Structure 1
Amino acid sequence: MRVGLHALGIGDGARPEVIRAVAVAAEAHGFARLWCGEHVVLVDEPDSRYPYSADGRIAVPADADWLDPLLALGFAAAVTSRIELATGVLLLPEHNPVVVAKQAATLDVLSAGRFGLGVGVGWSAEEFAALGVPFAARGRRTDEYLAAIRILWADDPASFAGEFTRFDAIRVNPKPLRGARLPVLVGGNGDAALRRAAALADGWYGFNVPVADIPARVAVLADACARRGRALGDLTVAVAPSDATPEDLPGLAAAGVTELVVVAAPPAAPGEAATWVAELARRWIRPGG
């Protein structure tokens, strides 16, 4: 099973010297991919419920540094050469899809084809309001934006007419190195996200999922794939469990998980990053060895 690391972009992980140290060490110690998430806006007392914790509250303080994930991964790409990179996740309906298509293709080219676009629909009504984007219909908006982005990656010139975006005979270059085959992963733990992954994407990213719930979530994804004439094996199944131990890895692999994502906060001192990453690798990539 591949092992990814979700550690960059927030707090101490937003500092360039820490990003450099963690990225270099993660590549050296065999991590498959670096993940970086997004929030443009946080508020001190949100009314919106955070869906990835039991108490409905996000653990990141509202005043913490939180880097733009595409820019942060671009920095990580510049100091590495092999490790893959992914947004985990970019909140797609908050963005202009033409701009996202351009940014993703740019990062893919600069990283020599190492980038995967992980997207989600978002959960914070306050964030959408601050950006001037309707919170309602964000799922439909996400689906349409993904279709438009695929066309922008594939066609030159490209045209699209939808409910939320339209363009006619435009040229958006560069194209990703794999064109429209640049991997798209859908984040979210609910059935709608799993159906979206099966219908529109190349993989699923489940975040903070209890280990006991993962087989059932993967089974829903497999059923959604079958209804679309796809096999589960056609998709990347990446999961960041909330409570996993290395002893859970065989069972997760048997359930269909192809990438375990370790979520951890890096040390504040860049000089400690290599030892920190090495310990994570010993625990998760080479358990017992």
Structure 2
Amino acid sequence: MRLGITMFATDRTMPPHELAAAAEERGFASLYLPEHTHIPAARTTPPPTGDDTLPEEYARTLDPLVALAAAAVVTRTITLGTGVLLAAQRDPVVTAKAVATLDRISGGRVVLGVGYGWNREEAADHGVDWTTRRARVREHVLAMRELWTKDEAAFKGEYAAFEPSWSWPKPEGRIPVLLGGAPGPTLFAHVAEYGDGWMPIGGAGVREALPALRAACEAAGRPMARVVPFGTVPTPGKLEYYAGLGVEEVVLRVPGGGRDAVLPVLDRYAAEHAGR
């Protein structure tokens, strides 16, 4: 089983390029970074953490693609992923260029974790009608696929459209897309149509959801999607449980802090779970 890590990287945490190098040195297979462009001060959407007040780290999040580019140049093998990129809030043409550039710089090591978002105010500032966010994510990912794979790409949708166009660089290979979110028919239909895997946040309920995900993939005539539990706090029993379900990668959560807070956790995870 591959073990990756994720951290809420901010301007007050261990720099992400140093984190990536430290993780690679300790044998971790992947690093995933989250995204929030901003947090509107007028808060109406409840925090997803269940806290009364949204933790400050949400407002201090680094841009994941810029941060991962810095990580790319100081590492050689570790997979570099977003966990998760808010695709509905991004221009797909610009984002396709940025992701392809990152993939070329890193030597083909990019994985795009994509989410639908939870913060209505943030999405509204990007002109996103909340009821359309899933449809927007779908079109934006499909439009990026066209730009990544076609020498002359075109796309016509309700939320993304461009005439036949040239756009290089192309990624070194296929960019895997992992869709984050709670299990359900809509999410699994999207995974089966245009994703490569499901990224369950926290990893709860995976066993119960697998039959529905498998059925959605079979209905789409494609192989079973990857399942990558995300933001997990590891225990030997939990990792053995995932391995028994056929899970091949788990992304472990590390605290959003400085070197003194982060490195001991990396050392402990590596010592306790190496060789899985």
| Matched-pair contact (CA < 8 Å) for 2:5–2:251 | yes
| Matched-pair contact (CA < 8 Å) for 1:119–1:186 | yes
1:113 to 108, 111, 115: 108
Per the alignment, in what secondary structure is the counterpart of residue 85 of structure 1? strand
1:203 to 197, 201, 219: 197
Using the TM superposition, give the Cα deviation of residue 48 of structure 1 relative to its aligned residue in structure 2, in angstroms: 2.1
Per the alignment, in what secondary structure is the counterpart of residue 136 of structure 1? helix
Which deviates the most, 218-227 or 29-38? 218-227
1:193 to 187, 190, 198: 187
Per the alignment, in what secondary structure is the counterpart of residue 200 of structure 2? strand
- Aligned twin of 1:149: 144
Instruction: State the AA in 2 paired with 1:143.
Output: R
Using the TM superposition, give the Cα deviation of residue 271 of structure 1 relative to its aligned residue in structure 2, in angstroms: 6.3
2:220 to 212, 220, 228: 228
Instruction: State the distance in 2 between where 1:274 and 1:241 align.
Output: 17
Per the alignment, in what secondary structure is the counterpart of residue 118 of structure 1? strand
Instruction: Show CA shifts across 1:71-101 (max 9, x none).
Output: 1111111111110111011000101100111
2:44 to 43, 47, 64: 47
Using the TM superposition, give the Cα deviation of residue 61 of structure 1 relative to its aligned residue in structure 2, in angstroms: 1.9
Instruction: State the distance in 2 between where 1:62 and 1:263 align.
Output: 15
1:216 to 208, 214, 217: 208
- Aligned twin of 2:266: 277
Q: 1:49 to 1:223 in 2, by over 3 A?
A: farther
| Matched-pair contact (CA < 8 Å) for 2:92–2:143 | yes
Instruction: Show CA shifts across 1:156-195 (max 9, x none).
Output: 22111111121112111100011xx221111112312232
- Aligned twin of 2:153: 158
Using the TM superposition, give the Cα deviation of residue 8 of structure 1 relative to its aligned residue in structure 2, in angstroms: 5.0
Q: 1:252 to 1:128 in 2, by over 3 A?
A: same
Instruction: State the distance in 1 between where 2:221 and 2:226 align.
Output: 16
| Matched-pair contact (CA < 8 Å) for 1:241–1:261 | yes
1:256 to 239, 246, 251: 246
Instruction: Show CA shifts across 1:192-250 (max 9, x none).
Output: 2232112211111111233xx22112332222112212232xx3211026565222222
Q: Give ranges in structure 2 of 5+ residues lacking alignment.
A: none
Per the alignment, in what secondary structure is the counterpart of residue 79 of structure 1? coil
Instruction: State the distance in 2 between where 1:61 and 1:127 align.
Output: 15
RMSD, aligned CA: 2.3
- Aligned twin of 2:32: 35
2:23 to 20, 23, 26: 26
Instruction: State the AA in 2 paired with 1:246.
Output: P
- Aligned twin of 1:239: 229
Per the alignment, in what secondary structure is the counterpart of residue 280 of structure 1? helix
Normalised by the length of structure 1, the TM-score is 0.87
Q: 1:125 to 1:226 in 2, by over 3 A?
A: same
Using the TM superposition, give the Cα deviation of residue 253 of structure 1 relative to its aligned residue in structure 2, in angstroms: 1.5
Instruction: Show CA shifts across 1:106-148 (max 9, x none).
Output: 0000000000111111121100122222222111111111111
| Matched-pair contact (CA < 8 Å) for 1:43–1:62 | no
- Aligned twin of 2:132: 137
Q: 1:157 to 1:231 in 2, by over 3 A?
A: closer
Using the TM superposition, give the Cα deviation of residue 64 of structure 1 relative to its aligned residue in structure 2, in angstroms: 4.7
Q: 1:155 to 1:242 in 2, by over 3 A?
A: closer
